[in-house]
Amino acid sequence: MGMHDLISIRDLEKKDVELVLNEAARMEKMLSKKADALLAGKIVSTMFFEPSTRTNMSFQAAAKRLGAKLMTFYPSVSSTAKGETLGDTIRMIDGYVDVIVLRHPYEGAARFAADLADHPVINAGDGGNQHPTQTLLDLYTVKKLKGRIGGLKVSLLGDLKHARAMRSLLYGLGMFGAEVTLISPPSLRMDEEIIKETKEKFGISVSQTSDINVKGADVLYVCRIQKERFSDQYEGEKMQREFRVDLNTLKNADQSLAILHPLPKVDEIPPEVDSDPRAKYFEQAKNGVPVRMAVLNLASR
């Protein structure tokens, strides 16, 4: 991690990702005992210019479990409300803290901040661009549940055109040699360029379909259909109804299937699936803490 920033999954080599996954496993073991000495005396600033529940809370939990002090930046009650630029704000906070965790609505904001700051910057999401710790926690979850990533059959289902996290996930799965099936309505397919890049770089098999059939899949990763992006509201709602994973969809799926979802989920997975033993998304969300502990600890070295 150049200067220990974490901006995009594409900045990482496979060995870097493996380092994070191994460190996260170590953190998970340490959760019950002395992790709180690792960053004692350090200050972590969480700067969320955009609402977030899971990412924000799990970064805060991660920092606290490592023994760091938190400095939370609230844009609405700071000089940002007076028009202070992001660059000035970053320069100022950089003088106070040891690590900056940034979420910002503009693509490229995290890279811009990392270029200005002397201390490590961790991207907690910049617009619809990159969200590297989500991909790391997704890979960690798959590896923890299945013991490996390479050779697994992974289906990504939902609105693959707009779900930017799915692009990074495809890249990460490619890095480890998984076999990927993309399941989406024809109008919501993933950008061909991204599929081509991943295939060429990692030589993995990626197939596309509009048919929701998860027979033989090891992992099913679901993201929502973003109906607010449709000009025709009825079209959006129709797709939302069709692209759901209910108990009926899971009838012919293997008992060993792991169902993942980045959360929050709306109606793409109805509540009755939550109690199915194959549903692993709450465990996945919990893995955000050891993974983000690993990222903070590695950044602070």
Catalytic residues: 54-55, 82, 103, 131
Q: How far is CA 236 from CA 89, 163, 243, in A?
A: 39, 15, 10
Reported residue count of the chain is: 301
Residue whose pair of structure tokens reads 């594409």 in the numeric block: 10
C-alpha to C-alpha distance for 23 and 295, rounded to whole angstroms: 8
C-alpha to C-alpha distance for 245 and 123, rounded to whole angstroms: 31
With 0-12 CB in 10 A as exposed, 13-18 as middle and 19+ as buried, what is 51?
A: exposed
C-alpha to C-alpha distance for 246 and 253, rounded to whole angstroms: 11
C-alpha to C-alpha distance for 185 and 227, rounded to whole angstroms: 13
C-alpha to C-alpha distance for 140 and 110, rounded to whole angstroms: 23
Structure-block tokens of residue 8: 């995009």
C-alpha to C-alpha distance for 223 and 169, rounded to whole angstroms: 12
Query: What letter would DSSP give residue 6?
Result: B
C-alpha to C-alpha distance for 182 and 199, rounded to whole angstroms: 13
